[in-house]
Amino acid sequence: MKLYYTPGACSLAPRIIACEAGLEMEYDKVDLRTQTTASGRNFIKINPKGHVPALALHTGDILTEVPVILEYLADQVPAARLLPRLGSLERYRVREWVDFTGYELHKGFEPLWVAPMPPKARQLAVNHLQRRFAYLDGCLQKRAYLAGEHFTVADAYCFTVLSWARFHRLDLSPHAALAEYMLRVSARPMVRRALQAEGLVPQV
């Protein structure tokens, strides 16, 4: 398999899961500005939507969309317990967190990437995110990871998206449980490996 990624983008989540699951993976870096890959390919021909991640399978098929790629990778190695058994309530709980991350957090950050942004519009986007951070903080006061005591695909995605807070100078420290969660996830050996592979510095 080959993962098309951009350092620090949402494609970091599938890289974390590939590392956690011990999956063999090739990586090809995408320059989103020029839509070319480090191997010299036109990325639009690989994913006409023009965004990372994209996962090339052994069959030649290409999978896109973070939640689907995470689910596919986790299902390759059920023993890694990165996603509960198909049909179980626990699996829907993890999916609930993946969707929350995608719709509320990932998309919540999107306006902040648009530059330049009028200060009032930025403040609205920040307020929206702060409400989500407060909700997450409340949940994480009761458990180590989003869906319980086990790290799952939802944590890989949530951690990746929340790591953008620092770039946008959003302070997570008033949310103590959330800040601790970020440290807990970034201390995982496979998360550190994924961060280092993308030239990113683990927070601990």
Ligand X SMILES: N[C@@H](CCC(=O)N[C@@H](CS)C(=O)NCC(=O)O)C(=O)O
Nearer to ligand X, 66 or 156 (CB): 66
User: What's the CA gap between 63 and 123, in Å, rounded?
Assistant: 35
The stretch among 47-55, 123-131, 145-153, 172-180 that binds ligand X (CB under 6 A) is 47-55
Does 98 bind ligand X (CB under 6 A)? Our answer is no
Q: What residue has token string 């420290």?
A: 173
Nearer to ligand X, 36 or 64 (CB): 64
E strand intervals along the chain: 2-5, 26-31, 36-37, 54-56, 62-64
Judged by CB under 6 A, the chain residues 64 through 83 that form the site for ligand X are 64-66
Judged by CB under 6 A, the chain residues 5 through 44 that form the site for ligand X are 9-10, 32
The DSSP H or E segment spanning 161 is helix 153-162
Long-range contacts (CB closer than 8 Å, 24 or more residues apart) made by 112-115? 112/164, 112/168
Contact 27, 52 (CB under 8 A): no
- 3, 15, 46, 51: residue in contact with ligand X (rule CB under 6 A): 51
Instruction: For the CB of residue 104, give the shortest distance to ligand X in the complex, in Å.
Output: 13
Instruction: For the CB of residue 162, give the shortest distance to ligand X in the complex, in Å.
Output: 13
Contact 130, 137 (CB under 8 A): no
The stretch among 49-57, 78-86, 123-131, 183-191 that binds ligand X (CB under 6 A) is 49-57
The contact set with ligand X (CB under 6 A) reads 9-10, 32, 50-52, 64-66
